[in-house]
Amino acid sequence: MTITCSVIRGVGGYLPSKVMTNAELESMVDTSDEWIVQRTGIRQRHVAAKGETTSDLATAAAQKALAHAGMTAKDVDLIIVATTTPDYTFPSVASLVQEKLGMHHGCAFDQQAVCSGFVFALATADSYLKSGMARTALVVGADTMTRILDWKDRNTCVLFGDGAGAVVLQAQQCAPDEPRPGILSSRLRSDGRHWKKLYVDGGVSSTGTIGHIRMQGREVFKHAVAMITDVINDALADAGKSAADLDWFIPHQANRRIIDGAGRKVGIAPEKVVVTVDRHANTSAASVPLALDEAVRDGRIKAGDLVMLEAMGGGFTWGASLIRWSAD
Ligand code: UT7
């Protein structure tokens, strides 16, 4: 007897070419490179060019993930794009990615859990694969958060950047008595009581405008480490693992201090933590797959490694996913 596993076959990332440094922000709001680096760890962020949309970023990342997997869009029967910043109110970014990939079969839809979006989408795709509803999924996290920034609000405009990351997830039959590859466990949480601590002050059915990000940073910070560590510990327990078993920790890249705090609290050695926040800032749903892509491509993550993904964002939403890496 075999069981169905969801295995990552390939990963890809895309960052817009324009880089904005902290020094540039100094000329826009009352801030300093020193404050931003000390409080967040961020030194620069990528910003999408005029006319470059979330679906463009998502498609570029998806193409790289497919190439890494040695596959084409023909092999895919499910696309889930995690995003908060769609090209249009509808159709979904996933439908646009499907069209840009020249794929006219299967199904495609968006999932919105803000910065936790990729972890939520990965768990959703995992369920589709394990239930037999799909066989090969493209799971993308893509956001152009700079489009919803108030560039006069120093509390938020220094924190975000644009980007996209993607994985190809495929169902595979595994022997139950061997170390299982792929997604071993996922934990997703949300609590709508906190929505006003991090939200966008506009929308289709409220103001009829796009709106801007508003955040009570200190309040978000206060909850972040505890929420993150809870889902990490639950995901580890579900798989019968402990923090000591982890080879790599890929946290959401919002703030270096939150990353360090969560790593310390869970008990993960600093050298096992993948950090991109210094160069990418907070790319929302793209942050985890972009960090995963970097650590796979530079050779840190190898086949057989145990990898913990984690994210937390608006809603609040938060989640973790434990993976045994299998792609080379
Ligand atoms: O994906 C999840 C989304 N977001 C997060 O995870 C972010 C969570 N929060 C954070 O990362 C941090 O709370 C921030 C980086 C946003 C702020 O750091 P903090 O250490 O919590 O600072 P604070 O909010 O307590 O503000 C300290 C001071 C304030 O001045 P006063 O009131 O003490 O005079 C702020 O007005 O820093 C001021 N400040 C700034 N100063 C220079 C806030 N933003 C800036 C800025 N430059 N950009």
User: Ligand 1 centroid vs 217 CA: distance in angstroms?
Assistant: 6
pLDDT at 328: 63
**Given the residues 68, 252, 255, 280, the one annotated as active site:** 252
* Averaged confidence pLDDT in the chain: 97
User: Ligand 1 centroid vs 148 CA: distance in angstroms?
Assistant: 18
The first and second tokens of residue 223, run together, are 């909850």
Mapped onto helix, strand or coil, the DSSP state of residue 213 is strand
Q: How far apart are CA 277 and CA 259, in angstroms?
A: 9
Mapped onto helix, strand or coil, the DSSP state of residue 62 is helix
User: Ligand 1 centroid vs 85 CA: distance in angstroms?
Assistant: 23
Q: Dump pLDDT digits (tens) for 4-32.
A: 999 999 999 999 999 999 999 999 999 99
Q: Of all residues in the chain, what percent are helix, strand and coil, respectively (each to 5)? A: 40, 25, 35
pLDDT at 307: 98
Helix ranges restricted to H, 182-249: 217-238
Q: Dump pLDDT digits (tens) for 150-191.
A: 999 999 999 999 999 999 999 999 998 778 999 999 999 999
Report which protein residue has its CA nearest ligand 1's atom 20: 39
| Ligand 1 atom nearest residue 257's Cα | 11
255 is catalytic: no
pLDDT at 1: 86
Q: Dump pLDDT digits (tens) for 119-142.
A: 999 999 999 999 999 999 999 999
Burial class (CB in 10 A: 0-12, 13-18, 19+), 206: exposed
| Ligand 1 atom nearest residue 114's Cα | 1
In order of their start, the domains of the chain are 3-174 (3.40.47.10), 182-324 (3.40.47.10)
pLDDT at 177: 77
Q: Answer yes or no: is pLDDT of 327 > 80.
A: no
What angle separates helix 217-238 from helix 256-266, to the nearest 10 degrees? 40
Are 323 and 8 a contacting pair, CB within 8 Å?
A: yes
Burial class (CB in 10 A: 0-12, 13-18, 19+), 179: exposed
Q: Dump pLDDT digits (tens) for 55-93.
A: 999 999 999 999 999 999 999 999 999 999 999 999 999
252 is catalytic: yes
Q: Which residues line ligand 1 (CB under 6 A)?
A: 31, 35, 39-40, 115, 154-155, 158, 198, 217-218, 220-221, 224, 252, 254-255, 258, 282, 312-313
What are the strands, taking DSSP E only, across the chain?
A: 3-14, 18-21, 44-47, 78-82, 107-111, 136-144, 162-174, 182-190, 198-200, 213-215, 248-251, 306-313, 317-324
| Ligand 1 atom nearest residue 252's Cα | 1
**Given the residues 5, 46, 115, 212, the one annotated as active site:** 115
Q: 181: which DSSP letter?
A: P
What's the mean pLDDT in 208-225? 96
The first and second tokens of residue 3, run together, are 């069981």
46 is catalytic: no
pLDDT at 68: 98
Strand order in the sheet with 107-111: 3-14, 162-174, 136-144, 78-82, 107-111
User: Ligand 1 centroid vs 220 CA: distance in angstroms?
Assistant: 10
Q: Dump pLDDT digits (tens) for 90-126.
A: 999 999 999 999 999 999 999 999 999 999 999 999 9
